[in-house]
Amino acid sequence: MIKKNLPFVWNSIEFLNGIVIEVFYGRKIKNAHVETFETLTLSKYQYRTLHQEDLIHLENMLTFQPKGFDDYFKPHCFDSKTLKMLLKNPAFQMFGVFDGEKIIGYFFLRFFLNRKAFRGKMVDVAYQGKGIAKEMGKITTDIAYRAGFRLFATISKFNYGSMASSAAVNKIHVIKELPKDYVYIEYFKNVKTDF
């Protein structure tokens, strides 16, 4: 509600949260990244942290998705200015899936001082159905748990693909139902999907 109605207040909270996360958890989160990506099994695609030079490719990927692709997934604006601002925020960790030089998937973790992390993920429509979203789920779960955070998300009941890929990776607990047919859920690590 704050994010939607008072963006200046939300941005200020995000800025302060980023500073606090960097001070108290920055090293632990970075170590979790390294440990997780080092233990990934070989894949046809490359999964890694995004860097400044990747943002133009991410923006292009998001721009060329079909109309309505973000009906159930719009965690932030997808313009260049927003992506650059998020990349600089230590509390917002951005990742990509690459087919060669092309970004075909985008996922992230947003960390908060109360040791809660929220994840989001999307796959280029041309690459859906290849198990990419499941791998994203495994990676974000592993990083969050290694860093000592609980993992949450809000998902539309009508986002069947996201629900299915989440259930294939995690044990899920619905905390409560939200307006407009969204649910607030917590992910628990499923021993079947440990790295």
CA distances from 136 to 46, 47, 93, 107 (A): 11, 8, 13, 7
Instruction: Supply the pTM of this predicted model.
Output: 0.89
Over residues 159-186, mean pLDDT = 89
Alpha-carbon distance of 47 to 135, in angstroms, equals 9
DSSP character for 13? H
Alpha-carbon distance of 139 to 187, in angstroms, equals 13
More confident residue, 4 or 70: 70
Q: What pLDDT, on a 0 to 100 scale, did the predictor assign at position 5?
A: 66
Q: Give yes or no for a contact between 122 and 106, defined as CB atoms under 8 angstroms apart.
A: yes
Burial class for 139, CB neighbours closer than 10 Å (0-12, 13-18, 19+): buried
Burial class for 100, CB neighbours closer than 10 Å (0-12, 13-18, 19+): exposed
Q: Kindly write down the DSSP assignment for every residue of 66-83, as one continuous string.
A: PTTTTSS--SS--SHHHH
The domain made up of 2-193 has a fold known as Aminopeptidase (3.40.630)
pLDDT digits (tens, 9 = 90+) for 8-27: 777 778 888 999 999 999 99
What residue ranges do the domains of the chain occupy?
2-193
Alpha-carbon distance of 150 to 189, in angstroms, equals 10
pLDDT digits (tens, 9 = 90+) for 77-121: 888 999 999 999 999 999 999 999 999 999 999 999 999 999 999
Task: Report residue 151 as tokens.
Answer: 């993992």
Give the three-class secondary structure for 162.
helix
